[in-house]
Amino acid sequence: MTAPRSRLTEMLGGYRRTAAVYLAAALGIPDLLIDGPRSGLELASLTGVGEERLRQVLRALTALGILGQDPGGRFFLTETGDLLRTDHPESLYGQAIYFGGLSYRAYGGLHESLTGGGVAFDHVFGIGYYEHLDRHPELAGHYHKMIALAPGMAQLIDGLFDFRPYRTIVDVGGGNGSLLTEILTLSPAARGIVFDLPLAADAGRKTVADRGMGDRCDVVSGDFRIAVPPGGDVYLLSRVLANWSDENAVKILSNCRDAMGNDATLLVFELLMPERVAEGAFAVDGDLNALAHFGGAVRTRSRFERLLAEGGFHLAEVREVLPGAHWSLLRCVPEAVR
Ligand SMILES: C[S@@+](CC[C@H](N)C(=O)[O-])C[C@H]1O[C@@H](n2cnc3c(N)ncnc32)[C@H](O)[C@@H]1O
């Protein structure tokens, strides 16, 4: 067990590591080392950064184990550093850019947002999260890759709810359509609508085309705070509500309710916060991210019940997607048919 003082000191220095990894990625250093080691001078000329200043960063990356130095003093990528190459099959380059250039900065606004109101991200960037992504398509690309659900998640969700009897499934905030197209593969008679912001439409259309679903799945653009496509018999809100304040979450739920007939079902797929957490609890990372980026939250079951009731739903059932993982499918029915 590490001594309390060392543990705390390590926590206090976390910002340096995030910043150094971000710099490596943002300066393109990993890709410059794909073909072999390079000297500090070469890297300085290729990145356009002054040699002495770049050396400070290269030394920090070496101390972190991202770079190594050969006997001639040239820098090379370690196995860890390799993961920052853009061509690596398991590349974390996009995460380095996203966490270091966006999340990390947003967290800097948390204190101001907690004491003065508003959303941390908006304080720092001057605009909302999704507007910012809209203006930075490259960042939006990293975001959509990063949030892609793990392969197999659709099968797990499908195992908890039988979509086969339903005709039209509307995935509200459906992102790049990967979840819905997988569900449609498992339910061959159903049709689908991926509904998301215009910024996600290209990615959605590409997934639908790549999976040969053009005749069964439409991609519709809009804002779920204003309205949601009507006429579906199952509505899915997967990993959407955590990104919104209670007030906006109720608005989104009410818009779903308005679009739904009394017999339709709403499925909410979210991480559930346990009523009490212990050290190392994993849901808190998502919770702080939601707070910093959106003023949202990973909610407990009882908080969901309250929000759903305000949005016009009754929480009929909660099923954990994987035991102990807290990812859960909430089956909700419109209030009128309770
Ligand atoms: C965390 S992602 C979840 C994506 C997908 N449902 C999943 O589980 O993989 C949240 C999604 O909400 C979408 N979104 C955000 N604001 C929106 C709005 N006002 N109207 C519609 N979609 C929105 C985002 O573009 C993003 O695709």
CATH code, domain with 14: 1.10.10.10
pLDDT at 257: 97
Domain presence at residue 106: yes
CB-based contacts of 195, cutoff 8 Å, min separation 6: 170, 171, 172, 173, 174, 220, 221, 222, 224, 228, 229
Q: Are strands 265-271 and 327-334 parallel, antiparallel or unpaired?
A: antiparallel
3 state DSSP class of 332: strand
Q: Is the CB of 223 under 6 A from ligand 1?
A: yes
Cβ atoms 254, 312 nearer than 8 A: yes
pLDDT of residue 1: 62
Instruction: Tell me the C-alpha distance between 41 and 277, whole Å.
Output: 49
Ligand 1 near 330 CB (within 6 A)? no
Which residue has its alpha carbon closest to ligand 1 atom 3? 239
pLDDT reported for residue 156 = 87
Number of domains the chain is built from:
3
27 CA → ligand 1 middle, Å? 30
Is residue 44 within 8 A of residue 27, CB to CB? The reply is: no
pLDDT of residue 324: 76
Query: Does residue 194 fall inside a structural domain?
Result: yes
Any atom of ligand 1 within 6 Å of the Cβ of 109: no
Q: pLDDT tens digit string along 169-223?
A: 999 999 989 999 999 999 999 999 999 999 889 989 999 999 999 999 999 999 9
Return the residue matching tokens 């993982």. Answer: 325
Instruction: Say how many Å lie between the CA of residue 223 and the centre of ligand 1.
Output: 10
Residue 62 CA, chain-centre distance (Å), reads 29
Residue nearest atom 18 of ligand 1, based on CA coordinates? 223
Structure tokens at 128: 């909302």
Instruction: Give domain status of residue 248, yes or no.
Output: yes
Residue that the structure tokens 């912001």 belong to: 197
Whose tokens are 């990625």? That residue is 25
Query: Comparing C-alpha atoms, which of 123, 136, 97, 133 is closest to residue 19?
Result: 97
Within this chain, do residues 38 and 55 fall inside the same structural domain, yes or no?
A: yes
Contact at 8 Å (CB) between 146 and 94?
yes
Q: Count CA within 13 A, CB hemisphere, residue 338.
A: 12
- Ligand 1 center–CA 171 separation, angstroms: 10
Query: Per the domain annotation, does 285 fall within a domain?
Result: no
Indicate whether 210 belongs to any domain: yes
From ligand 1's centre to the CA of 38, what distance in Å? 42
Range(s) of the domain holding residue 23: 3-82
Mean pLDDT across the chain, nearest whole number?
94
Same domain, 299 and 158: yes
Give the list of residues 6+ apart from residue 106 with CB closer than 8 angstroms, or none. Answer: 120, 121, 124, 125, 129, 292, 293
Quick one: pLDDT at residue 144? 81
Does residue 88 lie in a domain region?
A: no
Dist. CA 152 → ligand 1 center (Å): 20
Mutating to test ligand 1, I would choose from 130, 237, 328 the residue with most ligand atoms within 8 A of its C-beta, which is 130
Q: Whose CA is nearest to atom 1 of ligand 1?
A: 239
Of 242, 198, 245, the C-alpha closest to 222 is: 198
For ligand 1, atom 20: residue with the closest CA = 223
Euclidean distance between CA atoms 70 and 268, whole angstroms:
52
Domain boundary among 147, 167, 191: 147
In a shared domain, residues 206 and 243: yes
Q: Which residues of the chain have pLDDT under 50?
A: 338
